[in-house]
Structure 1
Amino acid sequence: MSTPPPPQVWPTLRARDAHALIRFLVDAFGFEATAVYPDGDLVAHAQLSWPPGGGVMLGSVRPADTDRWALEPGTCGVYVVTDDPDGLFARATAAGAEVLQEPYDTDHGSRDFAVRDPEGNRWSFGTYRGEPR
């Protein structure tokens, strides 16, 4: 059996307060801050790794005329696989995540929940790992 390649798709986010969003994603969800490159009070680039694999990249919002990757903060939606959705839901809500959907069982056999981070991004966590290729 061959080892799967490292992640090749990275959801990206912009944040009004990138330092606070990084702290929230680490504390509430368990991401690991693999790289954070500050630019004064802003974050030029950050990579947050998801321990089972993959991750997200983010940075501070900048004026559209100076940002080559201009995105509106709070407009991202990400699905993340977890083996313990109920435990992660408890952790996320204890850290202040806004609940969009309490844990529930889906018709396709997953256990999911959905929350919003302080910037407004939507996060869905569940046990569904996708269909085999």
Structure 2
Amino acid sequence: MTNSNPTVWLTLQASDAPALIDYYVDTFGFVVAARYGEGNTVDHAQLNWPEGRGGIMLGSHRPGNTWSRQPGTAGGYVVTTDPDALYERVTQRKADIVRPLAKTDYGAREFAVRDPEGNLWSFGDYTGELAAG
């Protein structure tokens, strides 16, 4: 039986998790599915990508924890069926475009953005290749 829930999640830590959540919702269009914590501390948040079965989990940076990573050092790729419309959305919101929308050598239409904490995001219509065999 195939599980229809995502099985791979990008996980992030943020210096200002509430602001980063707001940025991802407003600029990219992620949808908040869950958020736990009080005040400016986010213990755990789940943001779903509205076009598919994936998303991100993030929380406030907690140096010294066993699962601690430096904020602003992640990168992710998000598949979108309409990179042109999403590109228009992020440029209207004055996102930090690091690679403008263009066709790649492998036939995808993609662009890249740096979020306010420094993470790099690529958005495009490349859905990956089928596994060999």
* TM-score after normalising by structure 2: 0.92
Kindly indicate whether the alpha-carbon contact (under 8 Å) linking 1:24 and 1:95 is maintained by their aligned counterparts in 2: no
DSSP 3-state at the match of 2:127? coil
DSSP 3-state at the match of 2:37? strand
| Alpha-carbon distance between aligned partners in 2 of 1:27 and 1:128, rounded to the nearest angstrom | 23
Structure 1 residue 93: Cα displacement: 2.2
| Alpha-carbon distance between aligned partners in 2 of 1:83 and 1:92, rounded to the nearest angstrom | 15
Kindly indicate whether the alpha-carbon contact (under 8 Å) linking 2:18 and 2:42 is maintained by their aligned counterparts in 1: yes
**Partner letter of residue 42 of structure 1?**
T
- Match status 1:10 vs 2:9: yes
Give per-residue Cα distances to partners, 1:77-112, cap 9 Å, x unaligned: 000000111211121122232110000001111000
Q: Considering only aligned residues, what root-mean-square deviation do their CA atoms show, in Å?
A: 1.4
- Match status 1:41 vs 2:40: yes
- Match status 1:98 vs 2:99: no
1:74 is matched with 72
Which residue of the other structure, out of 101, 122, 125, is the alignment partner of 1:124? 122
| Alpha-carbon distance between aligned partners in 2 of 1:96 and 1:60, rounded to the nearest angstrom | 24
**Partner letter of residue 114 of structure 1?**
A
Kindly indicate whether the alpha-carbon contact (under 8 Å) linking 1:114 and 1:123 is maintained by their aligned counterparts in 2: yes
Give the ranges of 4+ consecutive aligned residues of structure 1 lying more than 6 Å apart after TM superposition.
none
2:82 is matched with 84
**Partner letter of residue 44 of structure 1?**
D
| Alpha-carbon distance between aligned partners in 2 of 1:104 and 1:11, rounded to the nearest angstrom | 24
Gaps spanning 5+ residues in structure 2: where? none
Structure 1 residue 3: Cα displacement: 5.8
The percent of aligned pairs where both chains have the same amino acid is 55
Give per-residue Cα distances to partners, 1:50-80, cap 9 Å, x unaligned: 012200000000122xx23101000010000
2:30 is matched with 31
* TM-score after normalising by structure 1: 0.92
How many pairs are equivalent?
130
